[in-house]
Amino acid sequence: MAQQPPLFPEFGDNNSDAQPPASVLRPSTKRATPVLPQPPDPAWTALAQALPRHLRMGTSSWTYPGWAGLLWDGDYSDTLLSKHGLAAYAQHPLLRTVSVDRNFYRALTASQYAAYAAQVPDDFRFVVKAPSLVTDALVRAENGRGQQPNAAFLDANLAVQEFVLPALEGLGYKVGALVFQLSPLPPQLLARMPQVLARLGRMLAALPDLKSIAPDGVIAVEVRDPAFLTPDFTTVLRSAGATYCLGLHPKLPPIAEQLGMLRALWPGPLVCRWNLNRLHGAYGYEDARDLYAPFNAIVDPDPDTRLALAKAVAGTIGRGQNAFVTISNKAEGSAPLTVWALAQDVLTAQ
């Protein structure tokens, strides 16, 4: 039998519960295009006005029909919301950022980014996930699972050409955080963390400076393996002028055990993506989705995580640093309602 090629030749492998105002929950009615926003309750507006402008909270995407009565004034399809919902979303007083997760699956063009930027106010900022082409160590099969080594993993040229430059060209000064979310590493790479960190450092060092175009822009790295949470990882981030993205996900320790990363990188902005409620376990996305749909109510409140995050946010913005926080429906059941509750907790923690 022919000898198999090394798994990653470049690494020298010799072997292979706060409640919102009731008025925001009034029943919705069918509407035709365009997508129109739900008129915000005065309590939402008052809460937003009480928060510093350099705190930007939002959700992961904006394409959920179940947010009718919360964000939309009626019932719209997810297809229609995908095309026209962002402008309505961005009119909500508390939602001043959004995580563009679709870029993870297929890299967007500068013109697609520009179309998004045209739909939001001047002080809106985008959080964008890097394409999996660059951040997955394994090429994904149709079912989403990694199958074979990805030769483009942490490729600096692809990161620049397929992600950073199109985002800067299309979003301009509305770039908030460009997030490299590194998917779980295979055991062969977990055993070579120094080489992985060196490769990550080379990629980060090759990225263009964001500040000349996007003064609020920051490069952030989110991980799924606790093996990254080391001083060596912090050194790589600091050397490249990047930051650590708090990833609130069951594959990582609770938020309190991740805050040391931010302390080591201080001073600097806070970037957080609250992805999944810990009670569902590391592979619980589908369970959470099925349980929480249509995402119009808090189903599993997580006040401990919310309070810990609120304290971290308050400490960051209290010292004049930016904070970008995006929340998934899978965090507690309804991302907009979690934003509402987190905003109240931040106000209390200040």
Angle at 287 between CA 94 and CA 283, to 5 degrees: 95
Question: What is the per-residue pLDDT across 21-36, written as a single tens digit (0 to 9) for each?
Answer: 544 444 444 444 589 9
Say which residue the tokens 């770039």 belong to: 175
pLDDT in tens, 182-236: 999 999 999 999 999 999 999 999 999 999 999 999 999 999 999 999 999 999 9
**3 state SS for 83-107:** HHHHHHHCCCCCEEEEEEHHHHCCC
Of 168, 189, 186, 190, the closest CA to residue 177 belongs to 168
According to DSSP, residue 24 is labeled: G
Q: What is the pLDDT of residue 40?
A: 82
d(CA 158, CA 139): 15
Q: Are 183 and 139 in contact (CB under 8 A)?
A: no
Quote the strand ranges of the chain, DSSP E: 29-30, 55-60, 74-75, 95-100, 125-129, 138-140, 146-149, 175-181, 218-222, 243-248, 270-274, 323-327
pLDDT tens-digit readout, 93-124? 999 999 999 999 999 999 999 999 999 999 99
Query: pTM value?
Result: 0.90
- Among residues 115, 122, 67, 66, the alpha carbon closest in space to that of 89 is found at 67
**What domains can be seen in the chain, in order of their start residue?**
31-349 (3.20.20.410)
Task: Please give the single-letter amino acid code of residue 28.
Answer: S
Residue 182 near residue 233, CB atoms below 8 Å: no
